[in-house]
Amino acid sequence: MAASFFVGGVMKSWFSKVARVLGVVAIAATLAGCGVNNIPTKEEQAKAAWADVQSQYQRRADLIPNLVATVQGYAKQEKDVLVAVTEARASATQPKFDASTITDPVKFKEFQEAQAQLTGVLGRLLAISENYPDLKSNQNFLALQSQLEGTENRISVARRDYNEAVRVYNTELRTFPGSIWAATFYRGNKPIEPFAAAAGADKAPEVKF
């Protein structure tokens, strides 16, 4: 009889553990079905899109030293523009802009303004090529033209994809049921900053040589 009681107790304990496990699984499945994982999932997608934006801007920055050197070889007298480009590149690449930048309005604005400044002085540098026919026909210059045009296109696409990922994530934080999870499990999650839409931002800048 004691043995029977012992076996019954073991079985009861086993069934109790199984029931608890099944209960946890059921709760997890219910939460998943309610979208509890949507916020971190969409956040990671936005961060991945931001990494692509950074990569494309870095690719542009990497082209600039060769571009400056090539222009300098034909237009040394354009010193002011050459210095302005070099300084703007430093301003756009030296500060540390990491994943935390996208939830910091001040740092994000700083990043965007630095890139916009670099875009502006690059336009000035490229415009002076009109005054130097030998420069316009230089093979290295033409190769840089092609690479820069391709990079500007990729930057435009990367920014567009980033803004869409940000829109989806920020909407999840503000709408039901995401707003419930944001107020409970993900209180530390902040809205992500999108790129401001400027005139002509829907298409890549036209780079003319």
The per-residue b/e assignment along 92-101, b for 16 or more CB within 10 angstroms, e otherwise, is bbeeebeeeb
Helix (H) and strand (E) counts in the chain: 7, 0
Asked whether residue 193 carries a pLDDT value surpassing 50, the answer given is: yes
Lowest mean pLDDT of 25-29, 84-88, 149-153, name the range.
Answer: 25-29
User: Quick one: which of 25, 40, 30 has its CA closest to 178?
Assistant: 40
- pTM comes to 0.80
Confidence of residue 16 (pLDDT cuts 50, 70, 90): low
User: Quick one: which of 112, 82, 120 has its CA closest to 95?
Assistant: 112
Task: Report the C-alpha gap between 129 and 142 in whole angstroms.
Answer: 11
Top pLDDT among 161 and 16 is at 161
Task: Please state the φ and ψ torsions of residue 186, each to the nearest 5 degrees.
Answer: -125, 50
Amino acid at residue number 189: N
* pLDDT tens for each residue of 91-133: 999 888 999 999 999 999 999 999 999 999 999 999 998 899 9
